[in-house]
Structure 1
Amino acid sequence: MHFKKWIMIIPLVSTLLLSGCSVLERFVYRIDIAQGNYVEQPDVDKLRIGMTKEQVRFVMGSPMLIQNGYPDTWYYIYNFTHGHDDTVQKDFQVTFDEMSQTLTKASGDFKLSPDFNTPLQ
Protein backbone atom coordinates (compact mmCIF):
# COMPACT_ATOMS: atom_id res chain seq x y z
CA MET A 1 0.00 0.00 0.00
CA HIS A 2 2.82 2.35 0.86
CA PHE A 3 4.49 1.59 -2.50
CA LYS A 4 1.39 2.67 -4.48
CA LYS A 5 1.47 6.13 -2.90
CA TRP A 6 5.05 6.66 -4.06
CA ILE A 7 4.20 5.53 -7.58
CA MET A 8 1.54 8.23 -7.76
CA ILE A 9 3.71 10.96 -6.19
CA ILE A 10 6.83 10.46 -8.36
CA PRO A 11 5.22 11.63 -11.66
CA LEU A 12 3.68 14.62 -9.91
CA VAL A 13 6.96 15.73 -8.32
CA SER A 14 8.98 15.21 -11.51
CA THR A 15 6.44 17.25 -13.52
CA LEU A 16 6.69 20.12 -11.04
CA LEU A 17 10.48 20.03 -11.08
CA LEU A 18 10.74 19.98 -14.88
CA SER A 19 8.24 22.79 -15.33
CA GLY A 20 10.32 24.90 -12.96
CA CYS A 21 13.30 24.81 -15.35
CA SER A 22 11.76 27.41 -17.66
CA VAL A 23 11.19 29.70 -14.69
CA LEU A 24 14.78 29.27 -13.52
CA GLU A 25 16.08 30.03 -17.02
CA ARG A 26 14.93 33.62 -16.56
CA PHE A 27 17.51 34.06 -13.80
CA VAL A 28 20.43 32.83 -15.92
CA TYR A 29 22.60 35.79 -17.02
CA ARG A 30 22.72 36.46 -20.75
CA ILE A 31 24.98 39.09 -22.25
CA ASP A 32 23.78 41.90 -24.49
CA ILE A 33 24.79 41.35 -28.11
CA ALA A 34 25.22 44.34 -30.44
CA GLN A 35 26.11 43.77 -34.08
CA GLY A 36 26.52 46.10 -37.04
CA ASN A 37 26.42 49.87 -37.40
CA TYR A 38 24.96 51.87 -34.55
CA VAL A 39 23.16 54.71 -36.35
CA GLU A 40 21.64 57.67 -34.51
CA GLN A 41 19.10 60.20 -35.72
CA PRO A 42 21.51 63.19 -35.37
CA ASP A 43 23.87 61.48 -37.84
CA VAL A 44 21.06 60.87 -40.33
CA ASP A 45 20.04 64.54 -39.96
CA LYS A 46 23.48 65.58 -41.29
CA LEU A 47 22.97 63.80 -44.62
CA ARG A 48 22.36 65.98 -47.68
CA ILE A 49 21.68 65.15 -51.28
CA GLY A 50 24.83 65.54 -53.36
CA MET A 51 27.29 64.44 -50.63
CA THR A 52 30.23 62.37 -51.83
CA LYS A 53 30.87 58.82 -50.63
CA GLU A 54 33.72 60.09 -48.46
CA GLN A 55 31.44 62.67 -46.80
CA VAL A 56 28.76 60.06 -46.10
CA ARG A 57 31.36 57.67 -44.70
CA PHE A 58 32.66 60.47 -42.43
CA VAL A 59 29.15 61.17 -41.07
CA MET A 60 27.73 57.63 -40.89
CA GLY A 61 30.82 55.43 -40.65
CA SER A 62 31.61 52.48 -42.88
CA PRO A 63 28.56 50.60 -44.12
CA MET A 64 27.79 47.10 -42.90
CA LEU A 65 27.16 45.85 -46.43
CA ILE A 66 28.02 46.87 -49.98
CA GLN A 67 26.72 44.21 -52.35
CA ASN A 68 28.89 42.92 -55.17
CA GLY A 69 27.64 44.41 -58.41
CA TYR A 70 25.85 47.27 -56.60
CA PRO A 71 28.65 49.46 -55.18
CA ASP A 72 26.43 52.53 -55.18
CA THR A 73 24.04 51.20 -52.51
CA TRP A 74 25.26 51.05 -48.93
CA TYR A 75 23.43 49.28 -46.12
CA TYR A 76 23.72 50.24 -42.45
CA ILE A 77 22.27 47.42 -40.35
CA TYR A 78 22.17 47.32 -36.55
CA ASN A 79 21.00 44.32 -34.55
CA PHE A 80 20.74 44.37 -30.74
CA THR A 81 19.71 41.58 -28.39
CA HIS A 82 19.34 42.54 -24.74
CA GLY A 83 19.70 39.43 -22.59
CA HIS A 84 16.34 37.65 -22.58
CA ASP A 85 14.43 40.33 -24.53
CA ASP A 86 13.50 40.31 -28.20
CA THR A 87 15.99 41.39 -30.84
CA VAL A 88 15.78 44.94 -32.19
CA GLN A 89 16.98 45.62 -35.72
CA LYS A 90 17.38 48.99 -37.43
CA ASP A 91 18.09 49.30 -41.15
CA PHE A 92 19.18 52.32 -43.19
CA GLN A 93 20.22 52.47 -46.82
CA VAL A 94 21.92 55.18 -48.88
CA THR A 95 22.15 55.25 -52.67
CA PHE A 96 24.63 57.15 -54.81
CA ASP A 97 24.40 58.28 -58.43
CA GLU A 98 26.44 55.94 -60.61
CA MET A 99 28.00 58.72 -62.69
CA SER A 100 28.62 61.54 -60.20
CA GLN A 101 29.14 59.23 -57.17
CA THR A 102 27.04 61.58 -55.03
CA LEU A 103 24.21 60.81 -52.62
CA THR A 104 20.80 60.69 -54.31
CA LYS A 105 18.55 58.75 -51.94
CA ALA A 106 18.35 57.51 -48.36
CA SER A 107 15.68 55.40 -46.67
CA GLY A 108 15.07 53.11 -43.73
CA ASP A 109 14.09 53.16 -40.08
CA PHE A 110 15.15 56.79 -39.55
CA LYS A 111 13.44 59.99 -40.69
CA LEU A 112 15.31 62.15 -43.15
CA SER A 113 15.95 65.75 -42.21
CA PRO A 114 13.75 68.38 -43.92
CA ASP A 115 17.07 69.73 -45.24
CA PHE A 116 18.00 66.44 -46.94
CA ASN A 117 17.08 67.77 -50.40
CA THR A 118 19.13 70.94 -49.88
CA PRO A 119 22.65 70.31 -51.22
CA LEU A 120 25.69 71.38 -49.18
CA GLN A 121 27.30 74.69 -50.27
Structure 2
Amino acid sequence: PVYPDTPPTYQYQYAVADDYAGLNFGANEGRDGYATSGEYSVALPDGRIQTVKYTVSDAQSGFVADVTYSGEAKYETYKPAPSPPAYRPAPLAYKPAPPPPPAYKPAK
Protein backbone atom coordinates (compact mmCIF):
# COMPACT_ATOMS: atom_id res chain seq x y z
CA PRO A 1 0.00 0.00 0.00
CA VAL A 2 1.04 3.57 -0.64
CA TYR A 3 0.27 6.17 1.98
CA PRO A 4 0.10 9.87 1.18
CA ASP A 5 2.87 12.01 2.70
CA THR A 6 0.74 14.58 4.49
CA PRO A 7 2.30 17.06 6.91
CA PRO A 8 1.30 16.46 10.54
CA THR A 9 -1.26 18.81 12.01
CA TYR A 10 -2.40 18.63 15.63
CA GLN A 11 -3.09 20.55 18.82
CA TYR A 12 -3.25 19.35 22.40
CA GLN A 13 -3.28 20.69 25.91
CA TYR A 14 -3.56 19.41 29.47
CA ALA A 15 -3.31 20.78 32.98
CA VAL A 16 -3.15 19.32 36.48
CA ALA A 17 -3.87 21.35 39.62
CA ASP A 18 -4.00 19.16 42.74
CA ASP A 19 -3.45 21.16 45.94
CA TYR A 20 -3.74 18.07 48.13
CA ALA A 21 -0.82 16.34 46.40
CA GLY A 22 1.02 19.60 45.68
CA LEU A 23 0.90 19.12 41.90
CA ASN A 24 0.58 22.03 39.47
CA PHE A 25 1.70 21.58 35.86
CA GLY A 26 0.40 21.76 32.32
CA ALA A 27 1.29 21.97 28.65
CA ASN A 28 -0.08 22.88 25.25
CA GLU A 29 1.33 22.41 21.77
CA GLY A 30 0.28 22.95 18.18
CA ARG A 31 1.89 21.73 14.98
CA ASP A 32 1.29 22.38 11.31
CA GLY A 33 3.93 20.66 9.18
CA TYR A 34 7.33 21.54 10.64
CA ALA A 35 6.05 24.66 12.37
CA THR A 36 5.56 23.73 16.01
CA SER A 37 4.95 25.94 19.03
CA GLY A 38 3.89 25.39 22.57
CA GLU A 39 4.61 25.88 26.21
CA TYR A 40 4.66 23.95 29.44
CA SER A 41 4.83 24.99 33.08
CA VAL A 42 5.52 23.27 36.37
CA ALA A 43 5.46 24.30 40.03
CA LEU A 44 8.98 23.85 41.42
CA PRO A 45 9.67 22.61 44.98
CA ASP A 46 10.97 26.07 45.97
CA GLY A 47 7.58 27.67 45.21
CA ARG A 48 8.37 29.22 41.82
CA ILE A 49 6.62 28.43 38.53
CA GLN A 50 8.89 27.48 35.62
CA THR A 51 7.44 28.21 32.17
CA VAL A 52 9.05 27.08 28.92
CA LYS A 53 7.78 28.54 25.63
CA TYR A 54 9.22 26.92 22.52
CA THR A 55 9.02 27.11 18.74
CA VAL A 56 10.30 25.23 15.73
CA SER A 57 9.81 27.28 12.56
CA ASP A 58 11.06 24.83 9.93
CA ALA A 59 13.26 21.78 9.43
CA GLN A 60 16.49 23.83 9.59
CA SER A 61 15.85 26.31 12.43
CA GLY A 62 15.81 23.79 15.27
CA PHE A 63 14.23 24.01 18.71
CA VAL A 64 14.18 27.51 20.27
CA ALA A 65 13.13 27.71 23.92
CA ASP A 66 12.50 30.65 26.26
CA VAL A 67 12.57 29.68 29.95
CA THR A 68 11.10 32.02 32.58
CA TYR A 69 10.48 31.79 36.31
CA SER A 70 7.74 33.54 38.24
CA GLY A 71 7.36 33.92 41.97
CA GLU A 72 10.02 34.00 44.65
CA ALA A 73 12.06 31.01 45.76
CA LYS A 74 11.49 30.04 49.39
CA TYR A 75 13.79 27.62 51.16
CA GLU A 76 13.30 25.90 54.50
CA THR A 77 15.82 26.50 57.26
CA TYR A 78 18.51 23.84 57.31
CA LYS A 79 18.16 21.33 60.13
CA PRO A 80 20.91 18.74 60.50
CA ALA A 81 19.82 15.13 60.66
CA PRO A 82 19.75 13.59 64.14
CA SER A 83 22.80 11.54 65.02
CA PRO A 84 22.35 7.78 64.72
CA PRO A 85 21.94 5.81 67.96
CA ALA A 86 25.11 4.40 69.50
CA TYR A 87 25.54 0.67 68.94
CA ARG A 88 26.37 -1.46 71.92
CA PRO A 89 26.57 -5.25 71.63
CA ALA A 90 24.52 -7.35 74.02
CA PRO A 91 26.42 -8.28 77.17
CA LEU A 92 28.04 -11.71 77.13
CA ALA A 93 26.70 -14.37 79.51
CA TYR A 94 29.17 -15.49 82.17
CA LYS A 95 28.16 -19.13 81.67
CA PRO A 96 26.13 -20.98 79.04
CA ALA A 97 22.40 -21.21 79.53
CA PRO A 98 21.19 -24.62 80.78
CA PRO A 99 19.48 -26.83 78.21
CA PRO A 100 15.69 -26.66 78.30
CA PRO A 101 13.85 -29.56 79.97
CA PRO A 102 12.50 -32.21 77.58
CA ALA A 103 9.03 -31.57 76.24
CA TYR A 104 8.19 -35.27 75.93
CA LYS A 105 7.87 -38.26 78.23
CA PRO A 106 11.11 -40.21 78.42
CA ALA A 107 10.89 -43.90 77.41
CA LYS A 108 11.10 -46.43 80.27
TM bin (shorter chain): 0.3 to 0.5
| TM-score, length basis structure 1 | 0.31
Structure holding more helix per residue: 1
Structure holding more strand per residue: 2
Larger Rg: 2
